Amino acid sequence: MSLDTFIEEYHRVFSRSSRTEYVPAVIKEAYNSVVIDVYGRKYIDFSSSASVVNTGYNNPKILGAVEKQLRRLIHYTHIYGFNEPALKLARKLISITGVVDGKVILGLSGSDANEGALFLSKAYNRRTYLLSYVNSFHGCTLMAAKASGIDLSRRVVRLLGEEGKTIFLPYPDCYRCPLGYTWSSCRLRCVEIVKEKIEELNGDVYGLIIEPIQGDGGIIPAPEEY
């Protein structure tokens, strides 16, 4: 099948709403940081598949652990019952975050994680506004889409009539500072803007959501000081 035919069928069967096409290649297999297409062409994947495969493709340690678990038990819900690997994972996640008496919800995706975080902070704080960033992307579920500043999400949220409660701040991009400063002479004006916005809203803010490295906005790292 030619690449054009392949892409044409893809467009016919997959919803456009679930796709952001960046890579015109049909990927068949991968190892370490290399992906290989159906024609045998090799590419070095500097994106780790949207930062999802940061451990490298087909990492033998992970393959081994997954295979071992799949042979023992693919799934029995840890919500109805109990299982040891789920407990070990929860323990590890809590130790990584360093949150004292942390609580874990295991989810399916980034959207799911952000939906949960936003939902919980809104329910807990009972306040009105969320702070987020211009050009941010936090996922496709409703709370996550409402929190996203990227054009595609804004259009969807507008269409649903769900606009208005997210305030979009300038992302701290030191390479192309949206405030027009150069690094260090800025004295982190972007941080002051966050404080001013919270004051302007009389503290009626239930959360702030930020990508430490803005992804779809252009792979922009926030400075450590921020």
By CB under 6 A, is residue 139 in contact with ligand PLP?
A: yes
Q: Are 204 and 128 in contact (CB under 8 A)?
A: yes
Q: Which is nearer to ligand PLP, 83 or 109 (CB)?
A: 109
By CB under 6 A, is residue 111 in contact with ligand PLP?
A: yes
Q: Which is nearer to ligand PLP, 17 or 185 (CB)?
A: 17
Sketch the per residue contact string, 172 through 211, with ligand PLP: x for CB under 6 A, - otherwise. Answer: ---------------------------------------x
Q: Are 53 and 79 in contact (CB under 8 A)?
A: no
Q: Which is nearer to ligand PLP, 35 or 147 (CB)?
A: 147
Distance CA 47, CA 10 (A): 22
Tokens matching residue 52: 């999802």
Q: Which is nearer to ligand PLP, 143 or 205 (CB)?
A: 143
Can you tell me which of 57, 133, 137, 206 binds ligand PLP, judged by CB under 6 A?
137
CA terminus-to-terminus distance, the chain? 49
Distance CA 62, CA 64 (A): 5
Task: Write out the binding residues for ligand PLP, residues 43-72 only, by CB under 6 A.
Answer: 50
Instruction: State how far the alpha carbon of 104 is from the alpha carbons of 24, 91, 144, in Å.
Output: 38, 9, 19
**Nearest approach, Cβ of 107 to ligand PLP (angstroms)?**
9
Distance CA 212, CA 138 (A): 12
Question: Which residues of the shown chain bind ligand PLP in the complex (CB under 6 A)?
Answer: 50, 109-111, 114, 137-139, 211, 215-216
